[in-house]
Amino acid sequence: MLIEQGNNLTRVKRSNQAAIRRLVYHYSPVTRGQLASELGLTMPTITKNVNMMIQAGVVRELDALGGESKTLGRKVRPIELVADSRYFVGVEMRSTRRSVCVTDYRGEIAVYRIDNNLLVDYQENVDCCCRMIREAVEASGVSWEKIYGIGICVPGLVDSGDKLIRKNSHYDWEMRYLAKDFAAGLGYAGEISLENNASARAYGAQLFRRELLNGVTSFAYMFVSSGIACPIIYNALPDYGVAVGAGEAGHMVMDPEGPLCRCGNRGCLEALASEQAVIRSCHRAVNMGQAKTLSDICGGKEPSLKEILEAQEMGDRDVEAIVDTAIFNLALATANIDNLTRPDVILFEAEILNSQRNRDKFMEITDKNVYAGTADRTRFEFLPTDPLSGARGGAAVAIRVNLESEII
């Protein structure tokens, strides 16, 4: 009986603290009165929790606002989160690139490491990431006691509860308990979280891009790389949501007669519009003696997306046709996702949409296929390409876990 009561008290304490900390995180600077009315908690509960957080250095009081508190006749002093009170490690692990960063509570990167070597073997990847984490933490000068969590993201289907990679069709990384393997590799006893790398990016945007998402209650994050994914986040505070579904937009079938996808089906969006699909089509064109400009740039070898976009810029018509097909399919899929879910904002991280010409083309096709009145139109935001967006997303995953679970 007593144990049960103890558990309940802990649960209430945790959920109150988590709710307060989430609001402070998202709305800083904020007053105790705003917290009380927003959360429906009493002022004594708010004051007690806030005082504990101030003592622990997680939040601090700011100078008094102009107005006076009506009831107490004292100046109202808002509180804000102390960004450097906690540090986190974010990791993105892919066979083609591993990236690691050490960030503060606000996602400001203190130190980062990027490794672009091709590593397919799972254990080699884990070992390499652990080495990079140790190096980055040491270089940051942040002591391990101040690292409050590590967030790792990988492509494919992951079970973030069991911290398990369930399915990964790029390489043989299936049914791997990733967090356990990192804990062993690092000798780290703190919290290690796991998330899909597109969902992690969405969480990164939710936490660190307040200027884009302020007041927004739902958004989607279209991530185009060697695969394509589009997690959708319901963003309503105070419970701020989670990514809905698998977000596997890449395996939406666009053309049942289309090219074979690595999942085994035909004509998936990924087989038509991912970076890999564009690279493959361009390489084939070069091998067939077409795409002369690109052929000169890449010397007959498999071109990179950067080289392809350069050839397009220089007027290579064959490359332009391939890029346009990818954009057409990407735009159709986006319009379908928009029609189905109608989020407030869709964020795009897609190198192929970096140029104004490609973006205009993309907008022209989505405009034609989105079913909505002008006033209901979803806002599209194109994010600059950032090699650290995945690692930073990993840090966001770790921060979300911390906001939910740490009891002071």
Please report, as ranges, the residues that interact with Zn ion according to CB under 5 A.
251, 261, 263, 265, 268
Neighbouring-strand partners of residue 159: 164
Taking the complex as a whole, the smallest distance from the CB of residue 269 to Zn ion amounts, in Å, to 8
Closer to Zn ion by CB, 161 or 264: give it. Answer: 264
Closer to Zn ion by CB, 167 or 210: give it. Answer: 167
* 92 CB neighbour count, 10 Å cutoff: 27
Closer to Zn ion by CB, 251 or 283: give it. Answer: 251
Taking the complex as a whole, the smallest distance from the CB of residue 277 to Zn ion amounts, in Å, to 11
Closer to Zn ion by CB, 251 or 361: give it. Answer: 251
Closer to Zn ion by CB, 265 or 355: give it. Answer: 265
Classify each residue of 190-214 as buried b or exposed e, where b means 16 or more C-beta atoms within 10 Å of its C-beta. Answer: bbbbbbbbbbbbbbbbbbbebeebe
Q: Any residues with CB less than 8 A from the CB of 77 and at least 6 apart, and which?
A: 31, 61, 62, 63, 64, 65
* 229 CB neighbour count, 10 Å cutoff: 25
C-alpha distances (whole Å) from 401 to each of 142, 295, 307 are 20, 48, 40
H-only helix segments in 176-252:
178-186, 197-208, 210-213
Taking the complex as a whole, the smallest distance from the CB of residue 265 to Zn ion amounts, in Å, to 5
Tokens representing residue 130 in the block: 């652990």
Closer to Zn ion by CB, 76 or 263: give it. Answer: 263
Taking the complex as a whole, the smallest distance from the CB of residue 281 to Zn ion amounts, in Å, to 16
Taking the complex as a whole, the smallest distance from the CB of residue 358 to Zn ion amounts, in Å, to 23
SS3 state of residue 100: strand
Taking the complex as a whole, the smallest distance from the CB of residue 251 to Zn ion amounts, in Å, to 4
Query: Which sign, positive or negative, has the C-alpha torsion 395, 397, 400, 405?
Result: negative
Neighbouring-strand partners of residue 167: 157
Contact between residue 242 and residue 396 where contact means Cβ atoms under 8 Å apart? no
Closer to Zn ion by CB, 145 or 257: give it. Answer: 257
Taking the complex as a whole, the smallest distance from the CB of residue 261 to Zn ion amounts, in Å, to 3
